[in-house]
Structure 1
Amino acid sequence: MRIAITVDVVAFEKQIRDWCEEAGGGIEINFFQKEPFIGPTKLDDSNPYWLAVKTAIDEL
């Protein structure tokens, strides 16, 4: 599943594990890919890529 960037992934994983236990246990969770949280790309003056895109769009 893909999780929104606004979700606390640690709390969400705990909730899923709690549900598995409530369902009677013996349920295994496998992660195909599990990455640490990376914040969203900033769309402000601190991002040179965004500034280049914004400048090009503003010129159009």
Structure 2
Amino acid sequence: MLALTKEWTEHAGNGTELSFIRYFTESAATSIGDDNKYWLAMREAVNNLGIEITPVVCPATSDMLILRNKGIPAIGFAPKSHTISRIHAADEYLNVATFLRGIDVYVAILQKLGNLQ
């Protein structure tokens, strides 16, 4: 996409320049292995609720990218099972039951994280 955008800029001529408000060339990773006590606590909390987490790499960026690149581990999480992804769409929504269940999930996670040694 970057190459295509640069091509358009060159084709436009007239001194057209390309600048970025936000541009990152790398994104550090956060371990979700047994060496990350926060991940283990989060996974245990949701597993205790009968929920299995399937880790994925999010194709978009978030504010967590900045934290990770500063060496601060960060994990994104959204308890929205059985929900079609409509991220940032005009019709993005959550079912009320899913939203309310999410509160219970976050409470369980926060209790586990808050009691780590």
TM-score normalised over the length of structure 1: 0.51
For residues 28-39 of structure 1, the aligned pairs below 5 Å read: 28-39=17-28
Structure with the greater relative contact order (CA < 8 A, sep ≥ 6): 1 or 2?
2
Consecutive unaligned residues of structure 1, counting only runs of 5 or more, are 1-11
CA-atom RMSD in angstroms = 2.6
Deviation at 1:33, TM superposition (A): 2.6
Deviation at 1:38, TM superposition (A): 0.3
Give the % identical residues: 29
**What's the CA shift string for 1:20-52, capped at 9, x where partnerless?**
11233521112223223205655x425623222
Runs of 4+ in 1 over 4 A off after TM superposition: 39-42
**Compared CA separation, residues 36 and 56, structure 1 to 2 (3 A):** same
Which of 45, 52, 56 is the matching residue for 2:33?
45
Deviation at 1:17, TM superposition (A): 0.7
- The corresponding residue for 2:12 is 23
1:58 lines up with 2:58 in the alignment:
no
TM-score normalised over the length of structure 2: 0.32
